[in-house]
A and B are shown apart, each in its own frame.
Chain A
Amino acid sequence: MQELHYSRPTTVADAVVALARPDARVLAGGTDLIVQVRENRRQVAHVIDLKRIPELNAITRQADGGWRIGAAASVGRLGRDAAFAAEHHALLDSARLIGSLQIQNRASLGGNVCNAAPSADAVPLLICLGARGVVAGPGGRRTLPIVEIATGPGRSSLAAAEILVAIVVPAQTGRWAAKYLRFTPRREMDIAIAGVGVWLQLDQQSAITGAAITLASVAPTPLVAAAAQTLLVGERLSPKLIAAAAQSAADEARPISDTRGSADYRRQLVAVLTRRALEACAGELGIHGT
């Protein structure tokens, strides 16, 4: 068996240098990577542990009201940040679907994004909230929308020597609510057959000023249901509008059939979950009769 060399740099610059070696891979919580290495699904000779780099562990509220989440900060730690938990309970709830407490005490949002599984549970709401990734590489830093990171199952747009440093969730303004729902045969410790993240923003007259819908497990990457979003903006929530948006999201899904469920079943799930997530947001925003 190939030897595995372990290092734990304390600066982003050192991590980027270490990552330039062939067969090097960064390690955050390891809840995906260690399994992949053990099962020889990934050729890795050097693991570069990011958890000792202060910037990758910091969870900070920015001056403009946004949040900067170090890419390697565990979901467990994120949940213990009371201010974050109060403001972003929907995002936190989606991250708390990841495995069990044992897994969440290791697993990071950065790992959930970079592992690029179509079923990643924390990613849909990151996309809905307009989150961006701060990426560092040999050429310096850049930022890009989280939605542009996954390019296919297990594939990301980051270059081989780039690391995700932080996830920035922009300040949310006005009346807004978000909800992620997934369907799994078991409540815990299972992978979504389909998942739907929804974000809504209303003006004082309850007209929809912003809408985002992102689907999980029904395409090679998390999928933005753009037509459904467009249907919602400018309108008022009603059972009819919610049904139309749910149908549109189901039509936009591009699911495959596999052992977890058929494509038709997944489409049905998208419609139901979209409706329920929109209803949950409406409830949270105090809009009744939907």
Chain B
Amino acid sequence: MKIVVTLDVNGEPRQALADGRDTLLQLVRDQLGLTGTKEGCSNGNCGACTVLLDGEPVCACLVLAAEAQGAHVTTIEGVAVGNALHPVQAALIKFGGTQCGFCTPGVVLSAVALLDRVAVPSDADIRYAIAGNICRCTGYGKIVEAIQAVATSRQEASR
């Protein structure tokens, strides 16, 4: 039995047909064609499938598509404004915080959620916020630096 899931994705109303077993990850990638969200481990350990569900980072592989009925979902495709990258994206490029890129969409969304929530995150806040995003390339140092740089420049801009 298919169910019709109506939700808001990246600010646009969307509708998709989902199976009871389908996850939000499958809905986003296979039904909506938003393949920036990656499938890694499929059990919540790697964070490659991180999306924002009503503003909070979650693993899309651990949310049933049916649970997203009426929800607001932000995927990596919804982070940049037109051609202008989100500051977190720009900083990851600048600081070399991305290499193979597989974890990057998830890292960006975890960082965006952190910066929305915490004005001046500490190094520990940043590391905790991305603890659920496994990266096998960078060793995390450059990712942390990039997020820190965004927080610092935002603070300076608000002075």
Which of A95-103, A169-177, A259-267 lies on the face that meets chain B?
Answer: A95-103
Question: Which chain B residues lie closer than 8 Å to A27 at the CB level?
Answer: 64, 67
B132–A31 CB distance below 8 A: no
Is A226 in the interface zone, CB < 8 Å from B? no
Is A4 in the interface zone, CB < 8 Å from B? yes
Is B44 in the interface zone, CB < 8 Å from A? yes
Main secondary structure of the interface of B (DSSP, over half): mixed
Question: Which chain A residues lie closer than 8 Å to B150 at the CB level?
Answer: none
CA distance A49 to B66 in the complex (A): 10
A3–B64 CB distance below 8 A: no
The residue that A102 contacts in the complex, of B1, B21, B42, B59, with Cβ under 8 A, is B59
Question: Which chain A residues lie closer than 8 Å to B1 at the CB level?
Answer: 3, 5
A103–B44 CB distance below 8 A: yes
- List A96-119 residues whose CB lies under 8 Å from chain B: 99-103, 105-106
A101–B62 CB distance below 8 A: no
B62–A6 CB distance below 8 A: no
Evaluate whether A100 and B132 lie within 8 angstroms (CB atoms) in the complex, with A3-B1, A35-B43, A106-B62 already known.
yes
CA distance A5 to B22 in the complex (A): 11
CA distance A34 to B69 in the complex (A): 17
CA distance A8 to B128 in the complex (A): 32
The residue that B132 contacts in the complex, of A8, A49, A103, with Cβ under 8 A, is A103
Chain B 43-60, CB-CB to A under 8 Å as 1, else 0, gives: 111010010010011110
- List B24-55 residues whose CB lies under 8 Å from chain A: 42-45, 47, 50, 53
Is A30 in the interface zone, CB < 8 Å from B? yes
CA distance A203 to B85 in the complex (A): 59
Question: Which chain B residues lie closer than 8 Å to A34 at the CB level?
Answer: 23, 61-64
B64–A102 CB distance below 8 A: no
Is B120 in the interface zone, CB < 8 Å from A? no
B20–A3 CB distance below 8 A: yes
CA distance A4 to B42 in the complex (A): 18
Chain A 65-109, CB-CB to B under 8 Å as 1, else 0, gives: 000000000001000000000000000000000011111011000
Chain A 122-153, CB-CB to B under 8 Å as 1, else 0, gives: 00000000000000000000000000000000
Q: How large is the interface on B (under 10, 10 to 19, 20 to 34, 35 or more residues)?
A: 20 to 34
Q: Which residue of B lies closest to A189 (CB)?
A: B45
Is B119 in the interface zone, CB < 8 Å from A? no
Question: Which chain B residues lie closer than 8 Å to A3 at the CB level?
Answer: 1, 19-21
B21–A4 CB distance below 8 A: yes
The residue that B62 contacts in the complex, of A4, A5, A8, A31, with Cβ under 8 A, is A31
CA distance A35 to B69 in the complex (A): 20
B20–A102 CB distance below 8 A: no
Question: Which chain A residues lie closer than 8 Å to B45 at the CB level?
Answer: 189
- A188: shortest Cβ distance to chain B, in Å? 4
Is A287 in the interface zone, CB < 8 Å from B? no
The residue that A100 contacts in the complex, of B3, B19, B23, B131, with Cβ under 8 A, is B131
CA distance A3 to B1 in the complex (A): 8
CA distance A100 to B64 in the complex (A): 19
- A51: shortest Cβ distance to chain B, in Å? 8
Is A47 in the interface zone, CB < 8 Å from B? yes
Is B104 in the interface zone, CB < 8 Å from A? no
The residue that B128 contacts in the complex, of A6, A37, A101, A105, with Cβ under 8 A, is A101
Question: Which chain A residues lie closer than 8 Å to B110 at the CB level?
Answer: 101-102
Question: Which chain A residues lie closer than 8 Å to B17 at the CB level?
Answer: none
A-B contact pairs, 21 of them (CB 8 A): A3-B21, A4-B19, A4-B21, A5-B1, A5-B20, A6-B3, A6-B66, A6-B67, A30-B63, A31-B62, A34-B64, A35-B43, A35-B62, A51-B67, A101-B128, A102-B62, A103-B44, A103-B132, A105-B58, A188-B132, A189-B132
B residues sitting closer than 8 Å to A (CB atoms) are 1, 3, 19-21, 23, 42-45, 47, 50, 53, 56-59, 61-64, 66-67, 69, 110, 113, 128-129, 131-133
